Every structure is written in C-alpha cells, then in structure tokens.
Amino acid sequence: MKIDILTLFPQMFESPFDASIIKRAIDKKLLEINTINIRDFSQNKHHTVDDTPFGGGAGMVMGPEPVFECMDYLREQRGGELGRVIMMCPQGEPFSQGYAKELGKEQHLVFLCGHYEGFDERVRETLVTDEISIGDYVLTGGELPAMVVVDAVARMVPGVLGEAASAEEDSFYNGLLEHPHYTKPREYRGQVVPDILLSGHHGNIRKWRRRQSLLRTIERRPELLTQVELTKEDKAALQELLSYLQALDLKK
Ligand code: 4GY
C-alpha cells in the first residue's frame, strides 16, 4: 500500500512511523509512506499557503492553488489516477474499525492535512473522496488524525501484523470489546491469573474469553451489542448474567 500525506508539517510524521510495527511494515515494503510539503507547491514569492477568509472573520484559510498543484503532480506521478483522497476534519464520517478494514483493501491513499481554519471549500468539493473524523473534538491540524487512520489501516494490510498476532482477534473486529490478557508471572503482588487460562483446555479458554468480551461490552459499551451477531451460547451467557443481576436486585 502506498500512502501520500499532504501537510505543512512533514516532520510531525517522522518518529511515529519510525518505530515498532509500522516501521517493520515499511522495511518489509508492505507499506510506503510519503510526506509532501504543501508549501513546496506555493507559487508566490513568500511561499505562503494561507490567506484571510472572504467575508471576514478570524483565522486563516489554506488556499486552493498549492493543494491543486500538488495533486496534479501526484496524479502525474501515478500515471493519471489517484486512489482515495482523504481529508481529516471534525465534520467527516466517524472513523471505525469497519472503515479501517475497508481502506485496508486499497492500493493507494492520499491524506490531506489541514491547519488553521482548514482548506478552501473548493479543495473538498473537487479533490476529496472521503472526509473522516476521529472524534468529536477539534485539534490544531489534521496531522494527528491522519496518523491515527494510517496506523489503524496499516495493521489491516495482510502481513503487517506478524503471523502470531492477528487483527481478527482484536477488539472491535468482531464488534465486541476485548477480553483481559495475562502473562507471567502467574502470581504478582497477590494477584493471580485466572486458573482457566492455565488449564490447557482450549475449548474452555475460548468460551471464557468470549464470555469476558460479552460482559465487558455490556458493562462498558452496551450500544455495541446491537450491532453484533450473537450466538445461542452468547445469549445464554448474557441471560445468565441478567438473572444473576436480578437475583442481586441490581436490575429490574
Ligand atoms: N477531530 N477528526 C479532526 C480535527 C483539525 C482545522 C481542519 C478530528 O479528524 N480531524 O480536529 N482536525 C482541523 C483543524 C483544519 C482540521
């Protein structure tokens, strides 16, 4: 997968993509991440990229010319075609594991990272295929959100996670929150690992984990359960929890 990131601050992307799993994916050539400084495409004398808004008001707007020029250059570089062009903004479609999965199938992605008041509207209208929000809050620029999306998408690319780890076991992959994890030592400061995990009985361990996932989800994010296909066994487990709570009179 090739990813081009258009930004005024390419240096922001250096260390996040120079560590751990993403670095390994780049080294293995499963992933290529390329940052482009929008300022390099400014044609004016002082290489400015922003200007005051028509109609007045505070803040600066990133003008269309450098972004359009930059996209022309990219399109040429890619033989006339660009993949999806993603703008990071709070007004976008909420990002999700499902969205990451979908983008993980693409060969080429372009990210537009705005700053100040964002881009001139004509950029969005003409160049952008996807607008994504990572949450209901406002950041100073699209760079951190782009990193979030690139990271989540990269780990969906086949081979990026090692053979041992797999995205299919993740939280949200199956629509549920993840079960707890433990490693050695078996006892630490008086806290012990649940016996079942040491039993070697893989069937029971799978059941226990599924149950933990269900319990965590209903406790912390009950709205997620409406989106999940529950098995007979899942429903029985939730039913059991419910009758337990009723017996305790915590729930009517
Ligand atoms: N939240 N999700 C977000 C953001 C910063 C002004 C446009 C978000 O995705 N992006 O807060 N972005 C703004 C800052 C220009 C981007």
Banded pLDDT at 174 (limits 50, 70, 90): confident
Residue whose tokens read 């033989």: 79
Report the pLDDT value the prediction gives residue 250, as an integer from 0 to 100.
61
Considering 106, 170, 178, 234, which one is annotated as catalytic?
170
Report the pLDDT value the prediction gives residue 249, as an integer from 0 to 100.
80
Is residue 94 reached through a cis peptide bond, with omega within 30 degrees of 0 on the bond before it?
no
Report the pLDDT value the prediction gives residue 169, as an integer from 0 to 100.
66
Report the pLDDT value the prediction gives residue 137, as an integer from 0 to 100.
98
Nearest CA to ligand 1 atom 2: 133
What's the rounded Cα separation, in Å, for the pair 117 and 7? 14
What's the rounded Cα separation, in Å, for the pair 144 and 133? 11
- Asked whether residue 137 falls in the same domain as residue 228, the answer is no
User: Domain range spanning residue 73?
Assistant: 2-164
Report the pLDDT value the prediction gives residue 96, as an integer from 0 to 100.
96
What's the rounded Cα separation, in Å, for the pair 215 and 2? 39
Report the pLDDT value the prediction gives residue 162, as an integer from 0 to 100.
80
Q: 35-39, 205-209, 247-251 — which is least confidently predicted?
A: 247-251
118 CB within 6 A, ligand 1: yes
Residue 177 included in any domain? no
- Asked whether residue 53 falls in the same domain as residue 122, the answer is yes
Residue 171 included in any domain? no
Q: For position 232, which CATH number holds?
A: 1.10.1270.20
Residue 60 included in any domain? yes
What's the rounded Cα separation, in Å, for the pair 207 and 239? 15
What's the rounded Cα separation, in Å, for the pair 103 and 152? 9
Q: Residue 28 burial by CB count (10 A; 0-12/13-18/19+): exposed, middle or buried?
A: exposed
Residue 126 included in any domain? yes
Residue 181 included in any domain? no
pTM given for the model: 0.94
> What proportion of the chain, given as a percentage, has pLDDT over 70?
96
Q: Helix 20-27 and helix 143-154: axis angle, to 10°?
A: 70
Mean pLDDT, the chain, as a whole number?
95
Pairing type for strands 187-188 and 191-192 reads antiparallel
- Asked whether residue 158 falls in the same domain as residue 191, the answer is no
Structurally, the chain folds into a number of domains equal to: 2
Ligand 1 atom closest to residue 140's alpha carbon, by position in its atom list: 14
Report the pLDDT value the prediction gives residue 161, as an integer from 0 to 100.
94
Whether the CB-CB separation of 111 and 6 falls below 8 Å is answered with: yes
- Asked whether residue 139 falls in the same domain as residue 206, the answer is no
- Asked whether residue 94 falls in the same domain as residue 212, the answer is no
Residue 169 included in any domain? no
- Asked whether residue 40 falls in the same domain as residue 127, the answer is yes
Q: Is 180 a catalytic residue?
A: no
Report the pLDDT value the prediction gives residue 251, as an integer from 0 to 100.
53
Residue 179 included in any domain? no
Residue 93 included in any domain? yes
Report the pLDDT value the prediction gives residue 167, as an integer from 0 to 100.
73
**Terminus-to-terminus CA distance in the chain, angstroms?**
52
Last residue of a domain, one of 105, 132, 164: 164
> What proportion of the chain, given as a percentage, has pLDDT over 90?
91
- Asked whether residue 77 falls in the same domain as residue 150, the answer is yes
83 CB within 6 A, ligand 1: no
Whether residue 59 is predicted with pLDDT greater than 80 in this model: the reply is: yes
Q: Is 174 helix (H, G, I), strand (E, B) or coil?
A: coil
Whether residue 164 is predicted with pLDDT greater than 70 in this model: the reply is: no
Whether residue 165 is predicted with pLDDT greater than 70 in this model: the reply is: no
Considering 24, 75, 90, 209, which one is annotated as catalytic?
90
Report the pLDDT value the prediction gives residue 51, as an integer from 0 to 100.
98
The average pLDDT across 207-211 equals 96
Report the pLDDT value the prediction gives residue 136, as an integer from 0 to 100.
98
Banded pLDDT at 172 (limits 50, 70, 90): confident
Alpha-helical (H) ranges within the chain are 20-27, 64-77, 97-103, 121-127, 143-154, 202-220, 232-247
Give the mutation target among 88, 116, 123, 137 for probing the ligand 1 site: most ligand atoms within 8 A of CB.
Answer: 88
Whether residue 166 is predicted with pLDDT greater than 90 in this model: the reply is: no
- Asked whether residue 201 falls in the same domain as residue 147, the answer is no
Q: Measure the CA dihedral 148/154/155/156, to 10°.
A: 110
